[in-house]
Amino acid sequence: MTLIKSISGIRGTIGGKVGENLTPIDAVKFASAYGAWLKGETKKQHPTVVVGRDARISGAMIQQLVMNSLVGLGIHVIDLGLSTTPTVEVAVPIEEADGGIILTASHNPKQWNALKLLNSKGEFLNATNGEKILKIAEHDDYFFAEVDDLGSITENNTYIDRHIDEVLKLKLVDVDAISTAGFKVVVDGVNSTGGIAIPKLLRKMGVEVVELYCEPNGHFPHNPEPLKEHLTDLSALVIKEKADLGIVVDPDVDRLAFMSEDGEMFGEEYTLVACADYVLGKQNGNTVSNLSSSRALRDVTEKHGGSYEASAVGEVNVVELMKDNKAIIGGEGNGGIIYPELHYGRDSLVGVALFLTHLAEKKSTVSALRKSYPSYYMSKNKIQLTPTMDVDGILSQFQEKNKEETITTIDGVKVDYEKSWVHLRKSNTEPIIRIYTEALSQEEADQLAEKTIAVLKGIAGI
């Protein structure tokens, strides 16, 4: 059982001992630290915070603890109830709120939950503010309101619909083209809030929907990370229903993957590639993804005359670089689409609408669209070290061995070879080096990973 405190929030497994798991006391402690920080930042006696959650079994319990902790600090809460991560992000600025909290452990299994923290723009906090909240929590440095100054809770269950309306108003979303195409889509909502939001969005665009695991009861029917090995039921149903495609999201709906009409994965890395191809075909601009994402985005961006840049891993880093480079679309290779025209956050609803518009205009099958993009293959591995080993020193020696290649060190060490790359990142919580490789075939990606692991073991003497 685990409790992980980081600058982006707190996450852990439900139950167990205080300070070792995400217990009710830990939820209260961290929500109170966030509220105390927010009051200090805003200088308001009664700031406003938007709170929403995915459909995890523990969600209602954690939400009541979090909201009432904020009320105890004199903070007014807007309760969205069952929601999605991007929906909460959209709601914060619309409500002119001072912050937001999303209760979700994203793609983690059902025993996990988390508090994800937002600023007044509906964006994730930066490292500086995250550190301040951790320090407040460490020292129990919060002061609760007296009885006449308590906050309040206001329910608002309209925001998934409002989020959908905002998506449909985007100028690059063509509802008429999508409706005319007559798509039939199977949706796997992993029994969380994607099962509410994605079918609603599709039906508003005139799409025939076949629902699979769309009951938001928190009982995930398979591993909730949207990877091929977890999606055999979706594959079978797409083929059985003769659907045009399948759509799957993670429990909080910020990761999006498509399945082709033949039951094969479109590829999580290619969600962003396809959406960027469509957007860049309509307007000139630049793109950003993180260092561990596919080269295919760079290729597509340069095809359209744009500039591609890679950030350190982490949504807040992608967003920061997108703003610096005035990128018109970006995201992460795990199926996260960030489209600033609506907001700076990974958003599966935006991704679905852009992708289906692209598909409708192309008059293409999903499998044919996938074949139109450069094919790259990835391998993801890790090497376990002992706690006494100098991980930074090992990475430095690996960098020296590849000094003739293109090296990037903003997040671990990435080595770009002519037709492949390897990215090494150390874990912040355990003595592990994560190894990501990409090449023009799966065999080459696997071989590069094996070669890299051998070199690292040689350096480490294991």
Q: How confident is the model at residue 85 (pLDDT cuts 50, 70, 90)?
A: very high
CA dist 462 and 198 (Å) reads 48
Residue at 101: amino acid letter: I
pLDDT tens digits along 183-210? 999 999 999 999 999 999 999 999 999 9
Q: How far apart are CA 19 and CA 131, in angstroms?
A: 18
So what's the pLDDT on residue 287?
A: 98
Mean pLDDT of 57-62: 98
* Tokens, residue 355: 């992708």
- pLDDT tens readout for residues 111-142: 999 999 999 999 999 999 999 999 999 999 99
Q: Where are the alpha helices (DSSP H) in 47-186?
A: 59-72, 85-94, 127-138, 159-168, 175-181
Report the DSSP pairing between strands 256-259 and 153-155: unpaired
Give the separation between CA 253 and CA 248, rounded to whole angstroms: 9
Query: CA 456: distance to chain centroid?
Result: 30
**Averaged pLDDT, 231-235:** 97
* pLDDT band for position 456 (cuts 50, 70, 90): very high
Counting Cα atoms < 13 Å in the Cβ hemisphere of 228 gives 8
User: Residues 269-289: what's their mean pLDDT?
Assistant: 97
- Residues 153-194 have pLDDT tens digits of 999 999 999 999 999 999 999 999 999 999 999 999 999 999
Residue 32 pLDDT greater than 60, yes or no: yes
Half-sphere exposure (Cβ direction) of 371: Cα atoms closer than 13 Å: 7
> In terms of Cα–Cα distance, which of 34, 163, 125, 92 is closest to 319?
125
d(CA 45, CA 354): 41
Do the beta carbons of residue 198 and residue 249 sit within 8 Å? yes
With a cut of 70, say whether residue 429 has pLDDT above it: no
Q: How far apart are CA 438 and CA 446, in angstroms?
A: 8
The residue type found at 325 is: N
Tokens representing 2 are: 């685990």
Return d(Cα 160, Cα 88) in angstroms, integer: 9
Residue corresponding to tokens 């999508």? 178
Rounded to an integer, what distance in angstroms lies between the CA atom of residue 229 and that of residue 243?
20
Task: Give yes or no for residue 427 having a pLDDT over 80.
Answer: no
Exposed e or buried b per residue across 302-320, where buried means at least 16 C-beta atoms within 10 angstroms of its C-beta:
eebebebbbbbbbbbbbbb
- By DSSP bridging, strand 208-212 and strand 153-155 are unpaired
Which residues are known catalytic residues?
106
What is the C-alpha separation between 448 and 26, in angstroms, rounded? 42
pLDDT of residue 363: 96
The shares of helix, strand and coil residues in the chain, as percent rounded to the nearest 5, are: 40, 25, 35
End-to-end C-alpha distance for the chain, whole angstroms: 29
Per-residue pLDDT at 149: 98
Domains within the chain, CATH numbers bracketed: 3-157 (3.40.120.10), 163-371 (3.40.120.10), 377-460 (3.30.310.50)
State the Cα–Cα distance between residues 315 and 198, nearest whole angstrom: 22
In terms of pLDDT, which residue wins out, 294 or 428?
294
Q: Which residues pair with 52 in a beta bridge?
A: 81, 102
Reply yes or no on whether the pLDDT at 426 is more than 90. Answer: no
pLDDT in tens, 328-373: 999 999 899 999 999 999 999 999 999 999 999 999 999 999 999 9
Q: What residues contact 187, with CB distance under 8 A and at least 6 apart?
A: 194, 195, 198, 199, 202, 209, 210, 211, 212, 214, 246, 247, 248
DSSP secondary structure letters along 261-289:
TTS-B--THHHHHHHHHHHHHHS--EEEE
Beta strands in 2-54 (DSSP E): 3-6, 9-13, 48-53
Nearest in space to 230 (alpha carbons), one of 210, 202, 250: 250
Max CA distance (Å), the chain: 67
Confirm if 123 and 241 have CB atoms less than 8 A apart: no
User: What's the rounded Cα separation, in Å, for the pair 447 and 396?
Assistant: 22
Q: Confidence class of residue 227 from pLDDT cuts 50, 70 and 90?
A: confident
DSSP 97: -
